[in-house]
Structure 1
Amino acid sequence: MGLCNKSKSEKITNPDNDGEGKVELKKQITLLQGVAIIVGVIIGSGIFVSPVGILSRVKSVGLSFVLWVTCGIYNMLCALCYAELGTTMPQSGGEYIYIKEAFGDILGFIGLWINFVLICPVGIAASNLIFSTYLLKPFFPDCEVPEAALQLLAALLICLLIGINCVNVTWATKMSVIITASKLIALAIIIVIGFIYIGKGETEHLQNTFEDSEYDAGDIAIAFYSGFWAYSGWSYLNFLLDEMVNPHRDLPRAILISMTLVIVVYLIANVAYLGVLSPAHMLESPAVAVTFGDRTMGVMAWLMPILIAISVSGTVNGIALGMSRLFYIGAQNGQLPSVLSMINYKHYSPQPSLIIILLMSLAYQFSGDIFFLIEMEGFGFATNLTFVFAGQVYLRYKKPDLPRSIKVPVFLPALLCLVSFAIVALTFYQKPHESVLALIIVMCGLVTYLLCCKWDGKPQFIENNMITVTTFIQKMMLVVQADDSEVKWD
């Protein structure tokens, strides 16, 4: 068995299944939980980190606000296009399924590979480091947080959240509701305090807002990656369609409700920050909301980093929940190791996919540079969006009779495709070394596909060794292939 070929898995019996007879992902995600998952992923580290990332590039408050609005509108339009794709092809797997349907296996695999090695583990690694920074910064107010402490706490977080996702999907989705409430409380505190300061006349930071603006196209493109980071997450529910109770009705509703809520909250929060902090103070702070709390909350300042840390953990939980399903679907289609298409026969969760996410995220954490990770994740995300929207336009002509319960004007995905491609192209101009590194990682995926998915007749010793490894993992994790056939429980 090669990397991408299916193997014959051992049949594992379950005496506690009470005759249900099928091992499959269950439909258990409602509209409320869907909104909570999306908001839980979007409102995480972005609003507490991205103000610095955007402001450092565009240099002025006014232009940073323009970028926040532009990024919000851009992501809202992307979400509308994804709503059409998700209800047209209501299968877990998200953009991987859309690219594969339009352009075939090779580009579908490249999109899957970008998620596998860039977007998912890099996003989780950055979020873990942000979690550690916010939680530990109050203990080191006048110096840098020790790197070893950051790495250890970040590792503990991802291990805990992956463990929860492995044991019970319902726990993970219900935890999203709790975490979403915590992050909205943190944002409410920032907004209320900030506007109290503004009401008292603290408006000097909101004057001459476009002074010293940087209009360089390359810098604006890199600033967009911080915007991607702040708004990213609206697509993750598309990875969970097989587990939604009513995907045709609830997916577009969940996307629209979530995006509207997030855009409004982000704009108000950015104004509130400037009621207390100057742009210079924001740029100097590694944890903006902690600095905000220290200046305004007195003895209760300890509450802010705790709420934000919980918020960031929601981002990690949402990414793990969504992306594990993407890798599960990719393996079912024979484009990732077959063991990733297996689920635990007791907990009905894709444990092998979750474990590989854990291992790759821990590896990326050692880079230690949060903004480098954000830009790498943004590059991969913009590249995939280019493929997705090009495929959406192509499918309108290739398969015009597909049932589309939601149908956006065709010029919209065409425009978004051009914008996404322009952002990627400008990144090569502005950040050539990082862009080439990301491109090499993507090209490695193409080589992997050709060697492992297209190479027939592999030597027998390779097949035998892979079968042995797969069988060992099955026995260790108690996982089996999930399909529509009946499984007899002894």
Structure 2
Amino acid sequence: MNEESIKHRKQSSNLGNNDPPAVSKKLKSMNLQKEMGLISGICLIVGTVIGSGIFISPKAVLANVGAIGPSLIIWAACGVVATLGALCFAELGTMITKSGCEYPYLMEAFGPIPAYLFSWSSVIVMKPSSFAIICLSFAEYVSAPFYSGCDPPVVVIKCLAVAAIVVITLVNSLSVKLASYVQNFFTAAKMVIVVIIIVSGIVLLAKGNTDNFNNSFDGPPLSVGGVSLAFYQGLWAYDGWNQLNYITEELKDPYRNLPLSIIIGIPLVTVCYILINVSYFTVMTSTELLQSQAVAVTFGDRVLYPASWVVPVFVVFSTIGAANGTCFTAGRLAYVAGREGHMLKVLSYISVKRLTPAPAIIFYGAVAIIYIIPGDINTLINYFSFAVWLFYGLTVSGLIVMRFTKKEHKRPIRVPLIIPIIVTLIAIILVLAPIITTPEWAYLYCCLFILGGLVFYVLFIHYRFGWAQKISKPITMHLQMLLEVVPPEGEN
């Protein structure tokens, strides 16, 4: 028996207990590895942000504000809000260099209960619903060419979405490098379609096709609720500006690469989004855009014919890249929450062979599939946006609090205090305005679900009732052996 076989036997013998495997210094430690550089960081931000949103949200933004001019202003304002939020998260990410994004920041600023409620809401609702939305968008664009002139059957869309979730979950469970390469490839691919749409729009504008921009502010009166819902849809397209903070522990030189990736990535996305919307409106009137089943496909049919097939193909690439980036980062949140004892402990375990947080990624994919079953894209977006901006506001307010309570912390990046104050106020407006102006039961259900997490916190975490431990322990042990995973080094 050679030396490698002996090492493998030693690793396998540790799968039934809570001790890390016996490994030599030559082997990598049982922790997540630092394998993401600056280029990969920028690709992760751009690739996650530019996904399904820019191909879905223009229609919803326009429907809520009623005219082209206010719609373009909303898109630019959303980019500013995303940039300000990203700057706040850059300070938090370089001050607290732990994966999990909002989770460790809330833990540091406010303690375990707000951090737990965030992990509960994110792992069960926000991140899986985001994954589901992107994969549903992917399925709509994949199936659209096969059902010309009519909507694809719902069952076809949902089956394709489930298949996408399974494949992406598998890729991310197998290898960090493979997931990173996939992300870089699809980011490059999606930039091709972005460039095609933007250049086509500029060429048409240069030829004098500006009729659709005449009287661009003529429309129905704006309402606070309508503007808020338009912001929800626009900010959904920008969501992902904080994705790099989920993988800080896997980022090479985070003090340099985290802020640089944000500073380069978010403004690049903002410029692309504004120019893409201008291109859409150059080709379609407001009424035509609202009636379009797939905005980018309609654009391609009118501008690129007979090469219009290029658009849906690259839109599919774009959505797959966004779904992959979302899965890559969100799995780390479940991993960190499990490591802190706020979720099942097995979610913090790492694959012996792959060095990936496989249990967390698989759990995340399984919950996303559940959301596919009753999923409606616009309802999911509103539900997602309400919850996510509740915690964005709480996290950024934590930055303000820590300026006074954690003065000793090293801050490689220090944003002016006015920026987190502005972001906090914007978050408060975004959360309260729809509830006050257009109240819906979905918002109440969302709040009740978030607060309902306290029941599980009391039973499983605070008091640690014996019967709860008896239930979770055998589940953890069997999953550990099935998935061949072990706790990260340093855990007992």
* TM-score band, normalised by shorter chain: over 0.9
In the alignment, what sits opposite 1:58? 65
In structure 2, which of residues 83, 90, 101 is the aligned counterpart of residue 94 of structure 1?
Answer: 101
Distance (whole Å) between structure 1 residues aligned to residue 346 and residue 276 of structure 2? 44
Greater CA drift, 422-431 or 26-35: 422-431
In structure 1, which of residues 198, 215, 218 is the aligned counterpart of residue 222 of structure 2?
Answer: 215
In the alignment, what sits opposite 1:359? 366
1:340-351 matched pairs, under 5 angstroms: 340-351=347-358
Letter in 2 for 1:145: P
Letter in 1 for 2:327: A
In structure 2, which of residues 433, 450, 456 is the aligned counterpart of residue 448 of structure 1?
Answer: 456
Q: Tell me the SS of whatever aligns to 2:187.
A: helix
For each residue in 1:343-372, what CA deviation from the matched residue of structure 2 results, as whole angstroms up to 9, or x when unmatched? Answer: 101100001111111111011112231111
Greater CA drift, 18-27 or 447-456: 18-27
Q: Tell me the SS of whatever aligns to 2:466.
A: coil
Q: Is the 8 A contact 1:118 1:376 kept in 2?
A: no
Q: Is the 8 A contact 2:283 2:299 kept in 1?
A: yes
1:6-45 matched pairs, under 5 angstroms: 9-11=17-19, 13=21, 19-20=26-27, 22-45=29-52
Q: Is the 8 A contact 1:186 1:308 kept in 2?
A: yes
Distance (whole Å) between structure 2 residues aligned to residue 381 and residue 436 of structure 1? 15
Letter in 2 for 1:110: L
Whether 1:193 aligns to 2:200 is yes
In the alignment, what sits opposite 1:272? 279
Greater CA drift, 86-95 or 110-119: 110-119
Distance (whole Å) between structure 1 residues aligned to residue 18 and residue 417 of structure 2? 47
Distance (whole Å) between structure 1 residues aligned to residue 357 and residue 434 of structure 2? 35
Offset of residue 334 of structure 1: 0.7
- RMSD after superposition: 1.7
Q: Residues 456 and 159 from structure 1, CA distance in 2 versus in 1: closer, same or farther, beyond 3 angstroms?
A: closer
In the alignment, what sits opposite 2:78? 71
Whether 1:150 aligns to 2:187 is no
Q: Which gives a bigger RCO, structure 1 or 2 (Cα 8 Å, sep 6+)?
A: 1
Offset of residue 432 of structure 1: 2.2
Distance (whole Å) between structure 1 residues aligned to residue 212 and residue 50 of structure 2? 25
In the alignment, what sits opposite 2:242? 235
Q: Residues 422 and 9 from structure 1, CA distance in 2 versus in 1: closer, same or farther, beyond 3 angstroms?
A: farther
In structure 2, which of residues 464, 469, 480 is the aligned counterpart of residue 463 of structure 1?
Answer: 469
Q: TM-score, normalised by structure 1?
A: 0.94
For each residue in 1:33-72, what CA deviation from the matched residue of structure 2 results, as whole angstroms up to 9, or x when unmatched? Answer: 0000010100011111111111010000000111011111
Q: Residues 20 and 426 from structure 1, CA distance in 2 versus in 1: closer, same or farther, beyond 3 angstroms?
A: same
Q: TM-score, normalised by structure 2?
A: 0.94
Q: Residues 360 and 254 from structure 1, CA distance in 2 versus in 1: closer, same or farther, beyond 3 angstroms?
A: same
Distance (whole Å) between structure 2 residues aligned to residue 32 and residue 463 of structure 1? 44
Whether 1:176 aligns to 2:183 is yes
Which consecutive unaligned segments of at least 5 residues does structure 1 have? 1-6
Offset of residue 484 of structure 1: 3.5
In the alignment, what sits opposite 1:397? 404
1:223-302 matched pairs, under 5 angstroms: 223-302=230-309
In structure 2, which of residues 478, 481, 485 is the aligned counterpart of residue 475 of structure 1?
Answer: 481
Offset of residue 114 of structure 1: 2.0
Letter in 2 for 1:481: P
In the alignment, what sits opposite 1:379? 386
Letter in 1 for 2:200: I
For each residue in 1:63-96, what CA deviation from the matched residue of structure 2 results, as whole angstroms up to 9, or x when unmatched? Answer: 0111011111011000000000000001111111
Letter in 1 for 2:484: L
Offset of residue 463 of structure 1: 2.6
Offset of residue 411 of structure 1: 2.1
Q: Is the 8 A contact 2:90 2:258 kept in 1?
A: yes
Distance (whole Å) between structure 2 residues aligned to residue 129 and residue 28 of structure 1? 30
Whether 1:107 aligns to 2:114 is yes
Offset of residue 115 of structure 1: 1.2
Offset of residue 14 of structure 1: 7.7
Letter in 2 for 1:399: K
Distance (whole Å) between structure 2 residues aligned to residue 320 and residue 143 of structure 1? 31
Offset of residue 174 of structure 1: 1.3
Q: Is the 8 A contact 1:9 1:481 kept in 2?
A: no
Q: Residues 137 and 431 from structure 1, CA distance in 2 versus in 1: closer, same or farther, beyond 3 angstroms?
A: farther
For each residue in 1:101-159, what CA deviation from the matched residue of structure 2 results, as whole angstroms up to 9, or x when unmatched? Answer: 11100011111122112220110111111001111112112111101110111111111
Distance (whole Å) between structure 1 residues aligned to residue 28 and residue 151 of structure 2? 55
Letter in 1 for 2:185: I
Distance (whole Å) between structure 2 residues aligned to residue 326 and residue 420 of structure 1? 22
In the alignment, what sits opposite 1:435? 443
Which consecutive unaligned segments of at least 5 residues does structure 2 have? 1-14
Q: Residues 272 and 21 from structure 1, CA distance in 2 versus in 1: closer, same or farther, beyond 3 angstroms?
A: closer
1:117-128 matched pairs, under 5 angstroms: 117-128=124-135
List 4+ stretches of structure 1 deviating above 4 A: 10-15
